[in-house]
Amino acid sequence: MHKKLIDALSPSVGPMKGMLQRELDRAQELLDAKTSAAQAEKDRQVAAEKAVKELFTSNNPATDTIKATTNQKAIDDAQKLIDAVTDATVKAELQKDLDRAQELLDAKTSAAQAEKDRQAAAEKAVKELFTSNNPATDTIKATTNQKAIDDAQKLIDAVTDATVKAELQKDLDRAQELLDAKTSAAQAEKDRQVAAEKAVNELFKGNDPSSDAIKAATSQKEIDDAQKLVDKVTDQAKKAELQANLDKAQDLLDASLATSGTISPNEFAVGGDKYITGTYSGDVVKISMFQNGTEFKGAAMKDGEFSFYATDKKIKKTDEIIMVAYDKNGKEIARKLVKFVVITEGKLTPVEMTIPGHNNVTGTYTGDITKIELTVNGKTYKGGTVSNGTFKFYSLDKVTSETDVVVVKGYDSTGKLLDTQTVKIKSTAPSAGTITPAVMTIPGDKNVVGTYTGAVKSLVLTVDGVEYKGGTIANGEFKFYSFDKIKSATSEVTLKAYDKVGKLLDTQTVTFK
């Protein structure tokens, strides 16, 4: 409007018009500045309000809870935006919400630190229950007691994080189990000591080992029973003390009984004798047999001789047999190891042979056989191998016909014959074949060549009495390298053909041009 009025002035008032225009321009500048400042303030308020709201759940301070992501930096950044606001009323309202956010964060931080401190205290208390402060050792310290566990439980109860609490509780429960087991073991050991001490003391007059005299009623059984109780004690010092008193009681009982005797078992033939026999003397009234540590009672005794039925015990030569003599009180007064006269035995089972075909007599054996002997048509051959339940005897040059009478014998280490078996023989279907060597030119040809028929599988070339094995045989033709063997056309050269088991099928003379 003012612009239009100025524009309407006549040119005659030009100076006045210029002055008015300048004042109007200044007014415009001031208005623009005021409008810009108002917009800037509005923008600052919007930015600050947004920053403050975003600190709270659902971007709403009215929830009175801050987001999980709200941290001190977010609050500090919002504070900077509030500080830039110039409207005191708006600024105060924003500051009020920000201060509340700060209070909530401080409370949250304080609670988190308190929980962290509770977890640390509980974890320390639990770990210190275990060896090396490490639950993984699965052993508790000697100083760990119920109070320490109870104190740790109180600290765990104060933890609010369910996962951490469960893990700590698991370790504490294990510590409790270990303490319970330890406590139980300690009580059990105490009970064992009390029982053993009572049993030992009651062997003596006045129930007092220092009396150095045992009761008239004290027997070997009572001492043995007390020994079993002493053996169960685990405290070494206490056990040694009890054992010393028990040994004293044993010495006193032995002295009061003072019996003696001898036992002399005869040699026992394993696999032959039915009874263990022998003699005895002195105060022997009962004899037992121990087989590999197991006692068998019931030996017959008369006039200084004894016998013990042993067939049902199936004694082996590897068993340890001991005869033990006792006096009337059941006290052992003598023992002797029974010496064995071993009766060896063994059996051969030869495999049926095929001739021609098999190059060895083979089979299995049992028992004490350590060597074998082969007889072919009455002629005996020594040798062969015997190991791990099987035997083998090379026979290609000995057993040549299905009609041969072949016998294998088994012996023990002393040369005693344990078994003799005839080897069964069966024949194979006869094989046949021929060779036709080509005429050679010497010098010139380097190989003996030709054709074959039938079951030919191998060749032997003989040059002036010297035999060579080799050659190739395939598809009805053969070839035998001879350049280094046949030097002259005057050499006597023959070629022999064999089947797969070494049977000679054909012999031909090689001719020269």
Assess whether pLDDT exceeds 60 at residue 10: no
> Mind listing the pLDDT tens digit for each residue in 270-323?
878 999 999 999 999 999 999 999 999 999 999 999 999 999 999 998 999 999
Helices 146-158 and 162-201 pack at an angle, to 10 degrees, of 170
Token pair for residue 200?
């030992």
Q: How far is CA 463 from CA 251, 502, 508, in A?
A: 95, 20, 12
Provide the pLDDT for residue 5.
Answer: 61
Would you state the pLDDT for residue 373?
98
Please give the average per-residue pLDDT across 412-437, as a whole number: 88
| DSSP state, residue 315 | -
Report the pLDDT value the prediction gives residue 31, as an integer from 0 to 100.
66
Q: What type of residue is 359?
A: N
pLDDT of residue 289: 98
Residue 9 pLDDT > 70: no
pLDDT at residue 14 tops 80: no
Distance CA(436)–CA(432), nearest Å, equals 14
Interatomic CA distance for residues 213 and 68, integer angstroms: 85
- List, as one string, the DSSP characters of 361-396: EEEEEEET--EEEEEETTEEEEE-EEETTEEEEE-T
Instruction: Extract the tokens encoding 389.
Output: 């339940």
The Cα 340–Cα 343 span in angstroms is: 9
The amino acid present at 195, given as its one-letter code, is A
Q: E strands within 327-370?
A: 332-337, 340-342, 346-350, 353-355, 360-367
- Phi, psi angles (nearest 5°) of residue 298: 115, 25
Mapped onto helix, strand or coil, the DSSP state of residue 461 is strand
The per-residue pLDDT for range 163-176, each reduced to its tens digit, is: 999 999 999 999 99
346-427: CATH number: 2.60.40.10
Nearest-angstrom CA–CA distance, 252 and 212 = 8
Instruction: Provide the 10 A C-beta neighbour count for residue 422.
Output: 11
The residue-averaged pLDDT of 480-499 equals: 94
Which of 33-37, 140-144, 150-154, 486-490 has the lowest average pLDDT?
Answer: 33-37
pLDDT of residue 366: 96
The pLDDT value recorded for residue 488 is: 93
Structure tokens at 211: 């009396």
| H/E stretch holding 122 | helix 88-127
Rounded distance between C-alpha atoms, residue 201 and residue 194, angstroms: 10
Query: Element (H or E) spanning 123, and its range?
Result: helix 88-127
Reported pTM: 0.31
- The pLDDT of residue 107 is 80
Indicate the CATH number for domain 433-509.
Answer: 2.60.40
Q: How far is CA 230 from CA 252, 253, 468, in A?
A: 18, 18, 85
Q: Angle 236-257/220-232 helices, nearest 10 degrees?
A: 170
* pLDDT bracket for residue 247 (50, 70, 90): very high
pLDDT for position 505: 94
Which is more confidently placed, 454 or 500?
454
- Identify the three-state secondary structure at position 439: coil
Which tokens in the block code for residue 318?
């590897």
Burial class of residue 460, CB neighbours in 10 A (0-12, 13-18, 19+) = middle
DSSP 199-235: HHHTTBGGG-GGG--B-TT--HHHHHHHHHHHHH---
Residue 35, pLDDT score: 64
What pLDDT, on the 0 to 100 scale, is given for residue 26? Answer: 79
- What value does the mean pLDDT of the chain take? 92
Element (H or E) spanning 462, and its range? Answer: strand 458-463
User: DSSP letters along 237-269, please?
Assistant: HHHHHHHHHHHHHHHHHHHHH---EEEEEPPEE
Spacing of C-alpha 46 from chain mean position:
72
Please say whether the dihedral angle defined by the alpha carbons of residues 136, 142, 147 and 151, taken in this order, is positive or negative.
negative
pLDDT over 70 (residue 133): yes
Sequence ranges of the domains in the chain: 2-107, 186-257, 261-341, 346-427, 433-509
| Mean pLDDT comparison of 34-43, 111-120, 277-286, highest-scoring range | 277-286
Q: Which fold has domain 261-341?
A: Immunoglobulin-like (2.60.40)
The least confident of 33-42, 258-267, 344-353 is 33-42
Rounded Cα gap, residues 195 and 191, in angstroms: 6
- Write down the pLDDT at residue 500: 83
3-state secondary structure 124-160: HHHHCCEHHHCHHHCCECCCCCHHHHHHHHHHHHHCC
Nearest alpha-carbon partner for 253 in 287, 201, 216 = 216
pLDDT at 13 over 70: no
Name the least confident of 9-23, 255-269, 272-286, 361-375.
Answer: 9-23
Query: Are β-strands 417-423 and 425-427 bridged in parallel, bridged antiparallel, or unpaired?
Result: unpaired
CB atoms within 10 A of CB 481: 14
The end-to-end CA distance of the chain, in Å, is 147
Q: What is the mean pLDDT of residues 238-247?
A: 97
pLDDT: which is higher, 338 or 21: 338
Task: Give the per-residue pLDDT at 8.
Answer: 65
User: What is the structure's pLDDT at 223?
Assistant: 96
Mean pLDDT of 431-436: 92
Q: List 336's β-bridge partners, or say none.
A: 323
Q: What DSSP designation does 445 have? A: -
Q: Name the least confident of 34-48, 222-236, 292-306, 413-427.
A: 34-48
